[in-house]
Amino acid sequence: MSHGTGQAAAAVGEAHPNIALAKYWGKLAEGPNLPAVPSLSLTLAGMVTRTAVRLEPSLPGDRLTLDGAPAQGRAVQRVSQLLDLVWHGPAGASQRRPAAAVESTNDFPTAAGLASSASAFAALAVAANAALGAERSVEELSSMARQVSASAGRSLFGGFVELPAGKLGDDWLPARPLAPADHWELRLVVAVTAVGPKAVGSTEGMIRTAATSPLYDGWLRWAPESFQQIRQAVLARDLDVLGPAAERSALAMHGVALAADPPLVYWNGATVEVQRAVARLRAAGADAYFTIDAGPHVKIITTADQAEQVAAELAAVTGVHRVIVTRPGGPARLLTEGVDGR
């Protein structure tokens, strides 16, 4: 164990959200949060979660503030889970972990639907690693963050990132970088269609889907093929293949979720209107394709030279609150180390 050597008492980490082009939906029935299907995402610049971890051995337990407001319950539990993983490592450690005060802020509106757990737990992983002096590799941090939120495992890396499906019996499953941010000058236009948090979180939604959706087996069989097609299209920078394949991955994910009991309907009216607007843009010759996560917002994949035009058209769709143009971004990183010199 490396605890104590180079242990910093406080550190700040920074990470970007990511959007899956090939969707992850569903977990293995057993094991530490192992995805049932492979996924592929793009890490996004321009939006950042910044997380400070300060060791406070005198505290009775970990403390968390999110955008300045104290958090309780499940959010704190997940933070403690990741702090424990980073401290103990896969083999475990006998020393007791000091409690930590964690402060996390997003520089983007949480209403954008991009304030997913991905950037939060990726930023926490790098900050915790430094504050606790754990000296984990980025692969270890990715595998650990993945146990708390699978999409967070991907945000440790920049650019295009893949996360394989888990295998029963495995603990170890990091994401891995497929191509750096500058591999392909894509743009992702976020069309914000609602304010407030989503109705059903992804973990609950996935469990319900696996337990009740008659389409789940078909999704598990189909998703790996779709992932391979998307992977090849990214490597070849082929938007004519990537675009339709990413749309289908998202629609298939929502299809299997819609068939759950009770149904998981993440869309609102504007979610559908934006899809129709994207189809109209395409009919008029634009390169624009949509993807949708477990919420009502729509993210449009397009090229750098068409992004402003696409954004302007989508901003005019009824029910769209605002649009944000994003680009491929870099990996999670450490901002400061050993702030109070302990």
Binding site residues, ligand PMV, CB under 6 A: 20, 23-25, 39, 116-118, 149-151, 202-203, 293-294
For residue 5, give every residue at least 6 positions away whose Cβ sits within 8 Å of its Cβ, in sequence order, or none: 133, 135
Could you tell me if 104 and 120 are in contact, meaning their C-beta atoms sit under 8 angstroms apart? yes
Taking the complex as a whole, the smallest distance from the CB of residue 184 to ligand PMV amounts, in Å, to: 19
| 3-class state of residue 64 by DSSP | strand
Phi, psi of 320 (to 5 degrees): -85, 120
Taking the complex as a whole, the smallest distance from the CB of residue 199 to ligand PMV amounts, in Å, to: 14
Distance CA 275, CA 271 (A): 7
In the complex with ligand PMV, which residue's Cβ is closer, 131 or 229?
A: 229
Taking the complex as a whole, the smallest distance from the CB of residue 119 to ligand PMV amounts, in Å, to: 10
Distance CA 3, CA 102 (A): 19
Taking the complex as a whole, the smallest distance from the CB of residue 196 to ligand PMV amounts, in Å, to: 17
In the complex with ligand PMV, which residue's Cβ is closer, 83 or 294?
A: 294
Helix (H) or strand (E) holding 121: helix 117-131
For residue 239, give every residue at least 6 positions away whose Cβ sits within 8 Å of its Cβ, in sequence order, or none: 186, 233, 287, 289, 301, 303
Taking the complex as a whole, the smallest distance from the CB of residue 21 to ligand PMV amounts, in Å, to: 9
In the complex with ligand PMV, which residue's Cβ is closer, 10 or 19?
A: 19
Distance CA 291, CA 297 (A): 9
Distance CA 222, CA 220 (A): 6
Radius of gyration of the chain from its Cα atoms, rounded to whole angstroms? 20
Distance CA 85, CA 143 (A): 10
Taking the complex as a whole, the smallest distance from the CB of residue 42 to ligand PMV amounts, in Å, to: 11
In the complex with ligand PMV, which residue's Cβ is closer, 127 or 253?
A: 253
CB count in 10 Å sphere of residue 110: 14
Taking the complex as a whole, the smallest distance from the CB of residue 137 to ligand PMV amounts, in Å, to: 21
In the complex with ligand PMV, which residue's Cβ is closer, 117 or 129?
A: 117
**Omega prior to 224 cis, within 30 of 0:** no
Taking the complex as a whole, the smallest distance from the CB of residue 146 to ligand PMV amounts, in Å, to: 8
In the complex with ligand PMV, which residue's Cβ is closer, 228 or 306?
A: 228
In the complex with ligand PMV, which residue's Cβ is closer, 73 or 92?
A: 73
Distance CA 45, CA 18 (A): 9
Unique residue bearing structure tokens 């302007």: 312
In the complex with ligand PMV, which residue's Cβ is closer, 54 or 254?
A: 254
Distance CA 196, CA 60 (A): 32
